[in-house]
C-alpha cells in the first residue's frame, strides 16, 4: 500500500484511492492518481465511496464540458486514460513555439 496522504490523515473516507498492479495507492482528495486506460483501475473517491465518473475523468484531462462522452463507460474510461491533458499540451506548445513560461506562478 502506498499511503501518500501524510501521517495525520488516517481516515480512509477523506482520501482518493485506486488499485494498482503494485497494490493500492492512497492520495489526498486534492490530487488524483494517474488516469490509465484500464477499467479495473478506476480511482475511488473515499468520502462518497464511489468511482470517479467518465465526466470527472474528462474534466481532469481538461476536456470541455460540451465534449460528448462515449455512452459505454468502459470505453470512455479507456479513452480518457489514453488522453493527454489538453491544457498541458497547449502550455507546452506555447513554451516551445512562443517562448512563454511553461508554469505560471499564481
Strand ranges in the chain using DSSP code E only, listed in sequence order: 2-4, 15-20, 23-28, 44-45, 50-51
pTM: 0.66
Cell of 34: 494517474
Rg (alpha carbons) of the chain, rounded to whole number: 16
Tens-place pLDDT, residues 74-93: 899 888 888 888 888 898 99
Give dist(CA 41, CA 34) in Å, integer: 10
Among all chains, which residue has been given the C-alpha cell 488499485? Answer: 19
Give the model confidence (pLDDT) of 16-60 as tens digits.
Answer: 777 766 777 777 777 666 676 665 666 666 666 777 889 988 998
Amino acid at each position: 500500500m502506498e499511503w501518500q496522504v501524510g501521517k495525520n490523515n488516517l481516515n480512509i473516507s477523506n482520501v482518493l484511492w485506486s488499485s494498482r498492479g503494485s497494490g493500492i495507492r492512497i492520495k489526498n482528495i486534492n490530487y488524483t492518481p494517474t488516469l490509465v486506460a484500464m477499467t479495473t483501475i478506476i480511482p475511488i473517491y473515499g468520502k462518497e465511496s464511489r468511482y470517479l465518473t467518465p465526466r470527472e475523468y474528462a474534466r481532469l484531462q481538461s476536456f470541455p464540458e460540451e465534449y460528448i462522452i462515449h455512452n459505454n463507460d468502459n470505453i470512455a474510461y479507456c479513452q480518457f486514460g489514453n488522453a493527454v491533458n489538453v491544457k498541458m499540451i497547449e502550455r507546452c506548445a506555447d513554451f516551445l513555439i512562443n517562448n512563454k513560461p511553461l508554469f505560471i506562478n499564481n
